[in-house]
Chain A
Amino acid sequence: MNPLDHSFATLKQRGGTAFMPFVTVGDPNPECTVDILLTLQEAGASMIELGIPYSDPLADGPVIQRSSQRALKNSVTLTSALECAQLAKQQGLTIPLLLFTYYNPLLQLGLHTAFERMSVAGIDGIIIPDLPYEENERVRALSETFGIHLIPMVALTSKDRVPKIVERAAGFIYCVSSFGVTGMRSQLHTELEAFVRYVKEVSGLPAVVGFGISTSEQYREVSRYADGVVVGSAIVHAIEQQRELWLDPDSRAEAAHSLRSFTEHLISK
């Protein structure tokens, strides 16, 4: 059983919601990323989305774009990001890991090689925001071969395409909460709840909501009807603000403590 499925099944029994933080691998640096992942696990993450830095992150807002650029300055690549994930696993990370990557880095590494390396690194799922359903056949076949779920994204604008997109999906469905790119928003779309319920019904899979959830109020609200909630920009922003602390080995524990409190507050009931 894919660890993602296992996590959702367990959460369902307990009536809980999956908390899925997003982290850009290599920001502030790859070493810190390992500590950040372990901290998020301690703070209650059910699974973590690992963002692979990319030069042209079309689906991302300013916070994640900046983070991506910093990671690229640290020469982080898809391969080194996977090594970083593997290292975190060796150091005690047990929760499932998902990759959030644009298509081109996968393509340049070679799709087969990429899946092989993901498998070695212990990746359980992959999200490719710029790969449309109509073009994903090769990736889907590989995802089935390697047992790594290819997570589809659906948005409020997907409308009639939703049944088709979710038809052969595995793992869960990533529901984009709003129009536009990632980033913190003051209000969630009014149609979100109905949309998420619809997606769950059509797909029969857990629905995870992402893009724009940054406060504990929003987290609580979405948790009522979604099976999981992604928090990206808010986490990345919190790390950005403590960059100096993270980068200095002497103060890293302090940075980790602060991230842990921030996260615990965010998901507190």
Chain B
Amino acid sequence: MQLLLQDYSGRPTPLYFAERLSNQLGGARIFLKREDLNHTGAHKINNTIGQGLLAKKMGKKKSSRKPEPDSTVLRQRRFAPCWVWNARFSWEKKIFADKKLNVYRMRMLGAEVVPVTSGSRTLKDAGNETMRYWVANVEDTFMLFGTAAGPHPYPYMVREFQKVIGEETREQALTNMGRLPDTVIACVGGGSNAIGMFHPFIDDSQVTLMGVEAGGRGIESGAHAATLSQGTPGVFQGSYSYVLQDIHGQVKEAHSISAGLDYPGVGPEHAFLRDSGRVRYCSITDQEALDALYLLSRTEGIIPALESSHAVAQAVKLAPECSSEHIMVVCLSGRGDKDVEAIAGYEGGGLQ
């Protein structure tokens, strides 16, 4: 696994000092953990390699997964040909239309991509459909769950495969700066990059950990994916955690400009960290995330994924209030290539 992370994915990823961004904002020194530089462009490959190896060990020949509606699927499938014969993805209909390019790339890699026609045809239904396919074909199929949610042992497993992010960050901070960061920020949908980043810092009480959820069109609008801030405890897709739901226990649809954060559940370990107060969770709106995306693109020449833009936006808010000694690390969980169509769509007009 170590070898694959190194030679296939390109780890360790750098901890980059975003000097121009820091200067422009004033205040904290902002560092970016460059998960976007992984092969296929995001942290998702860490977990994909881990679960891929597991599938191989278990002798499963097929994989079924709910694609994170970004290039996660590509990560899975690009990696998949090594050992997995046949990958099958369920993808929500809306995204199917929105992300033609990504679907095309997946098919190039040999995956079978199936639009979801059940339920509300959203990301959660793609997840349900994936689990249904998996239970029906459990003898030869491995379900690759991309985030730190879902039934046990997925939340635990995904955290173990993603904690390399925090471990590297910790070591790089100590080596390069001689101390731990003051603040660490990561975006939270299901919460896989965040749990991977936070986990190795849990015992370092001097490090403030912040999880950023999707505030969508604003919390008050009801169109958001701020599960930890606005959800209530419940059981969804096999784990007990916070859920966006009505009083009768019916799960609501989430909304975010970032399809990867657009999930009405969240990993159970985040629920624990929220309740224990160790991690602070907040939300960033679609527009704030988009503004941060442009700011980072234009100061540093890095187009972040819309997911990661939420974390960047929180740094943009906080940095000016901090001293110049303050070290702030943002987990740049993925790159924005995959989101170009979505951004163009959000701004109206699409790609011309």
Contact = CB atoms under 8 A, between A and B. Distances in A.
B267 to A, nearest CB: 17
B258 to A, nearest CB: 22
Interface of B: 118-120, 124-125, 128, 131-132, 135-139, 232, 234-238, 243, 245, 247-251
A77 B248 contact: yes
Nearest to B265: A56
A179 B136 contact: yes
A268 interface: no
Contacts of B243: 104
Contact of B250 (A55, A61, A181): A55
B255 to A, nearest CB: 16
23 contacts: A55-B250, A56-B125, A56-B236, A58-B237, A62-B118, A65-B118, A78-B248, A104-B236, A104-B245, A104-B251, A106-B249, A107-B234, A107-B235, A107-B249, A108-B245, A130-B235, A179-B137, A179-B138, A179-B139, A180-B136, A180-B137, A181-B132, A181-B135
B109 to A, nearest CB: 27
Interface in A175-232: 179-181
Contacts of A61: 132
A181 B136 contact: yes
A108 B249 contact: yes
Contacts, number: 70
Interface in A47-79: 54-59, 61-62, 65, 69, 72, 77-79
A56 B248 contact: no
B235 A69 contact: no
Interface in A69-128: 69, 72, 77-79, 102-109
A103 B128 contact: no
A219 B249 CA distance: 34
A59 to B, nearest CB: 8
Nearest to B124: A56
A13 interface: no
A157 interface: yes
A65 B124 CA distance: 14
A103 B119 contact: no
Contacts of A104: 234-236, 243, 245, 249, 251
B135 A56 contact: no
Contacts of A105: 248-250
